[in-house]
Amino acid sequence: MATVNDVVIKIATVNGTGSASANGLLRKSIFRMGVPVVGKNYFPSNIQGLPTWYEIRVTGDGYHARSNRVDIMIAMNAQTYARDMAEVAPGGWLVYDSTWPRKSLLNRDDITIIGIPFSRMCNQHFDGARARILMKNIAYVGAIAALLDIDVEIITALLEETFAEKKKLVASNMEAIQLGYDYAMEHFACPLPMRVEKMNATAGQIIIDGNTAAGLGCVYAGATIGAWYPITPSTSLMDAFRDFCSHYRVDAETGKRTYCIIQAEDELAAIGMVLGASWMGARSFTPTSGPGISLMSEFIGFAYYAEIPAVIFDVQRVGPSTGMPTRTQQCDIISCAYASHGDTKHVLLFPADPAECFYMAVTAFDLAERLQTPIMVLSDLDIGMNDWMVPELEWDEDYVPDRGKVLGAEELEEMERFYRYLDVDGDGIPYRTLPGVHPKGAYFTRGSGHTKLGAYTENSADYQDVLDRLLHKWETARSLVPEAEISFSKFNKAAILTFGSGDGACKEALDRLEAHNIGLNYCCVKAFPFTDAVRDFIDTHDVVYVVEQNRDAQFRTLLINDIDADQNKLVSLLHYDGMPINAGFVVARVLEEIAKGRAA
Amino acid sequence: MSYIAKPIISHPGLPKNALGLTLRDYEGSVSTLCAGCGHDSVTAAIIQAVFELDIEPHMLAKMSGIGCSSKTPAYFVQQAHGFNSVHGRMPSVTTGANAANRDLMYIGVSGDGDSLSIGVGQFVHAIRRNLNMCYIIENNGVYGLTKGQFSASADIGSLPKKGMPNQQEPIDPVSTALSLGATYIARSFSGDKEQLVPLLKGALLHSGFSLVDIISPCVTFNDHEGSTKSYAHTRQHYHHVVNVDYIHPSEEIKASYEEGEAMPIHLHGGDTILLRKVDDSYDPTSRASAFKYLRERFNAGEITTGLLYANESRDEMHELMGNVDTPLSKLPLDELIPGKDELAKLQGGYR
């Protein structure tokens, strides 16, 4: 039976061999045919020589998660032949470089082995070791095009766009495409029963990774200062900000910059710089990952208590400790929510895809200045570094940044005296002043005990007064953070609740469970503190499957802590092997719970 | 840190600076440091310098970390914003603040614990960036608030009040700063206001990173016989090599510099300082010879003071980065946002 636009292609290569551009070309070609795709990169913490994989899920239904299945394996790395072959689903295909026959190794009889002599062909047609390696990658794109019926004209057009400045490269790349294409057409029955066909499901959609989108969001939020210390998988966020700024933020006449990126000596300094800049009134941010949050924690507590805005992007990776730096998890939930010593808690935002990374970047700056506190955007490697299809980003020209309660020179001039930590409006948010504006605005910013007037104190009542007011501010934050996405499929007492990158897999799982006649309601949480709607959602149900990507059910703990959710209702579905979560896992776990007698 | 408001007493006869402010207007709250603490003398010198430079109080930012020294920004220039950060992290906060607003004058007050142990990483990197700030180390060789442990600036053989003498090599902030390329490096003594005030003025006006390492004895934990950071020891081994005079712009024409005796240094903002060499063999414009001289005098047990190195030619952080002259914090956000059409155009590449 033929399958159209529902196929997973996995490409096994060696890192550092330039396969990324070939894989991107393949992914884009399918997308240009109007077919939704998901691109996932599984790469080692290494620069050159170790196995790496790129997975393209062709999904006519437009799902966002990875599939836990491989239909076609392009096995270009002899080191991993055995495991790559084992991963192919029964009935699938394995394409390998038959320049060196591997008969004894490639011995599964429930899949079809396709040998194409990529190396031999490329050695005959191209000169130089580097060119031969690069062109071998392009050649497999050609072979897949033949096998899956991908439009070669679209590939040509993409190459012409990519190498608009270097026409010679278009010809050589096309030659390599043709080598793979022609060989496959000649030797195998093309296309395979699993193939790609043009459709119209990508109109108004783009493909983007979360770090690029977040970097762009910082530009659109008007951020001027980024301080950071390089750490996988957050590095590309600052790279993106730098690229966008070099385009949008350099004065055409003078060549001078309206942005400042500082590569700090460590994360301790990166967050210190953000606080200094925010204290001075600039929109300022730092991207990092879990280990960076650990180092920043002292300052995050300072910012909470001294009430200084800050925007922190935590692109989460697998812990504990160095963990697996190039694998994904949602494992910093608790360390971010309560970062630092003493009574501290912080506003967290949970983007579910790259588009939300863009919008939430802007929201984060608004909230940071409104609430005068650190806002952490908790993305992860899966969102940050993988290629997601999302609706085209939109910008509201009427957007007015929320700069919060900042007193200007005129207001200060008219005041008798300014006190930094007074709750004038009853919302727990005091007024602040910026240095260099007016002598009356001066105050001493400190992390030591202070009164509501801003003076140092060791007096119990005065200290507690400020601490309680911060709790009041926390409740104000609850009313300002982005609302959860909630959907009721039908009246039902069971539901799935997730956040961040769990969204794609859960939505797909809901569809699949529907096919089992199990209709679950759904809540995708967007922020901490949890809104009243999240509380009500849990209250309404008898069973809430809490889907998260860590071992210790950190999000469930947070639900219990923050809104006193009934822990007997909260059933954890935990995925923490470092790979992005998939719908099959969610479906299997829900069915397992139902089989145990849990309400559906 | 304790906080005692100062009584407001009017002194109609006090001299005023160009802004019409008196020395009193540059004071802060009452110090809660121990009586006789060197740091209070440094505070007084800072007040004097800032007053005489006619600095608008709110255009000064007072930065600090944690420790006795870091409390002192509360004791001067009440009408300046202060930022008492976390231990050893004053340089990063100052870097961010300065990145956001280059129009303010930044004075950071730190100590030997804050800068040479917990904060040594941030100290050295602020120097590498040539951050435009005046960085003061109130150097007493001990941790005061935790009751007298040695700091990283304690000399070998220096005796604590109780226990064994220090055996570890000291970190000398001056030679550290020299090796890292700091562009204004001075050392002084809290007990020598006459030398200190002009050094501070030069440091405040210098464009780039200026370090003023001030031996500032701890009367409670490190002022005893056998300590190399006591008042008595410092007075005995204190050695001026270069003194500095600050020349007010209005006085510059009148000042005469005799060849070989005094050397004017023209600062970026248009001010001038005058170096007066006490020791002719000292060259404060050469890192290599300064380093050699300082090492030799240190080995001989001397504490060399004065303006030890000055270089007005190197660009400070903003100049190195090519940033606009307007403080980044003052750019209107709507001018920074590329807008709807640009976003649509950009996304053509994401299809």
The span from the CA of B328 to the CA of A209, in Å, is: 28
A108 CB-near residues (< 8 Å, 6+ apart): A85, A86, A88, A94
Q: Does A439 touch chain B (CB under 8 A)?
A: yes
Name the β-bridge partners of A582. Answer: A66
Among A258, A284, A438, the residue with its CB nearest the CB of B100 is: A284
* B97/A276 Cβ within 8 A: yes
Q: A253 — contact with chain B (CB < 8 Å)? A: no
Exposure on the CB side of residue A493, measured as CA atoms within 13 A: 7
Interface contact A276-B96, CB threshold 8 A: yes
Q: What is the nearest CA distance from A228 to chain B, expressed in angstroms? A: 11
Quick one: closest CA in A to B326, which residue?
A: A258
Q: Searching chain A, which residue's CA lies closest to the CA of residue B2?
A: A456
Contact at 8 Å (CB) between A504 and A65? yes
Percent of chain A with pLDDT over 70: 99
The CATH number of A485-595 is which of 1.25.40.10, 2.20.25.240, 3.40.50.920, 1.10.1660.10? 3.40.50.920
Q: A134 is written with which tokens?
A: 């690069």
Tokens in use for A87? Answer: 């991963």
**pLDDT tens-digit profile of A99-134?**
998 877 778 999 999 999 999 999 999 999 999 999
Per DSSP bridges, beta strands A485-487 and A521-525 are antiparallel
Tokens of A46: 């290494």
Q: Which residue of B has its CA nearest to A456?
A: B3
Long-range CB contacts (< 8 A, 24+ apart) of B261-269? B265/B202, B265/B310, B265/B312, B266/B312, B267/B202, B267/B205, B267/B206, B267/B207, B267/B312, B268/B206, B268/B207, B268/B312, B269/B205, B269/B207
User: Residue B1: is its pLDDT beyond 50?
Assistant: no
Provide the token pair at A167. 């026409």
Calculate how close chain B gets to A524, using CA atoms only, in Å: 26
Helix (H/G/I), strand (E/B), else coil: A199 = coil
Q: What is the mean pLDDT of each run of 10 residues along chain A (600 residues)?
A: 92 91 96 97 90 97 95 95 95 95 82 96 95 94 98 96 90 96 97 96 97 98 98 98 97 95 98 98 98 98 98 98 97 98 98 98 98 98 98 97 98 97 98 97 97 96 98 98 92 92 98 93 98 97 97 98 96 97 97 86
CATH of domain B23-347: 3.40.50.970
Range(s) of chain A covered by CATH 3.40.50.970 = 208-391
Give burial (CB, 10 Å; 0-12/13-18/19+) of B27: middle
Query: β-strands B209-215, B184-189: how paired?
Result: parallel
Q: What is the distance in angstroms between the Cα of B166 and the nearest Cα belonging to chain A?
A: 30
- Put simply, the answer to whether A206 touches B92 (Cβ < 8 Å) is no
User: Please, what sign has the CA dihedral across residues A337, A339, A345, A346?
Assistant: negative
Between chain A and chain B, the number of residue pairs with CB atoms below 8 A apart is 224
Of residues B190 and B162, more confidence is placed in B190
Interchain proximity B99–A439, CB inside 8 Å: no
Mark which residues 292-351 of A lie under 8 Å from B by CB: 298-299, 302
- What is the ipTM for the molecules in this complex? 0.96
- CATH architecture label of A3-203: 3-Layer(aba) Sandwich (3.40)
Is A456:A446 a contact under the CB 8 Å cutoff?
yes
Average pLDDT over residues B43-47: 98
Q: What is the C-alpha to C-alpha distance for residues A390 and A269, in angstroms, rounded to an integer?
A: 35
Tell me, what's the pLDDT at B162? 86
For residue A358 the two structure tokens come to 């863009």
Residue B311 to chain A, least CA–CA distance (Å): 24
Q: How far is B93 from chain A (nearest CA, A)?
A: 4
Amino acid at A588: A
pLDDT of the residue at B253:
54
Facing B96 at nearest CB: one of A227, A437, A439: A227
Q: Which two tokens stand for residue A30?
A: 């399918």
Residues 6+ apart with CB under 8 A from A236: A209, A211, A212, A215, A384, A385
The Cα B40–Cα B48 span in angstroms is 12
CB A371 within 8 A of CB A477: yes
Q: Do B122 and A401 touch (CB under 8 A)?
A: no
- How is residue A158 annotated by DSSP? H
Nearest to B78 by CA among B135, B132, B21: B21
Phi, then psi, of B149 in degrees rounded to 5 = -70, 150
Count Cβ atoms below 10 Å from residue B290 Cβ, excluding itself.
Answer: 23
> How many Å lie between the alpha carbon of A435 and the closest alpha carbon of chain B?
6
- Run of H or E residues at A525: strand A521-525
The structure tokens listed for A45 are 């913490």
Distance from CA of B43 to the nearest CA of A (A): 16
Residues forming beta bridges with residue A260, ordered by sequence position: A225
**Cβ A442–B82 below 8 Å, yes or no?**
yes
Q: Can you identify the CATH homologous superfamily of domain A208-391?
A: Thiamin diphosphate (ThDP)-binding fold, Pyr/PP domains (3.40.50.970)
pLDDT tens-digit readout, B231-244: 999 999 998 998 88
Residue with tokens 């000292």: B282
- Cβ B97–A262 below 8 Å, yes or no? no
Contact A215, A240 (CB under 8 A): yes
> Are A397 and B339 within 8 A, CB to CB?
yes
Q: What are phi and psi of B166, to 5 degrees?
A: -70, 135
**Residue-wise pLDDT tens digits, A227-275:** 999 999 999 999 999 999 999 999 989 999 999 999 999 999 999 999 9
Which tens digits make up the pLDDT trace of B256-277? 555 556 788 888 888 888 888 8
Strands A51-59 and A6-14: antiparallel
Per-residue pLDDT at B268: 82
Share of chain B above pLDDT 90, in %: 81
Taking the alpha carbons of A503, A508, A509, A514 in that order, is the dihedral positive or negative? positive
The size of chain B, in residues, is 351
pLDDT for residue B3 is more than 70:
no
Residue A545, pLDDT score: 97
Residue closest to A553 by CA, chosen among A533, A576, A530: A576
- A98: DSSP letter: T
Mapped onto helix, strand or coil, the DSSP state of residue A475 is helix
What b-and-e string marks burial along B67-105, b requiring 16 or more CB atoms within 10 Å of the CB? bbbbbbbbbbbbbbbbbbbbbbbbbbbbbbbbbbbbebb
What does R_g of chain A's alpha carbons equal in angstroms? 27
Which uninterrupted H or E stretch holds B142?
A: strand B142-143
Residues in chain B with CB shorter than 8 Å from the CB of A249 are 336
Helix (H) or strand (E) holding B343: helix B340-347
Q: Which of residues 54-113 of A touch B (CB under 8 A)?
A: none
Contacts of A401 in chain B (CB under 8 A): 333
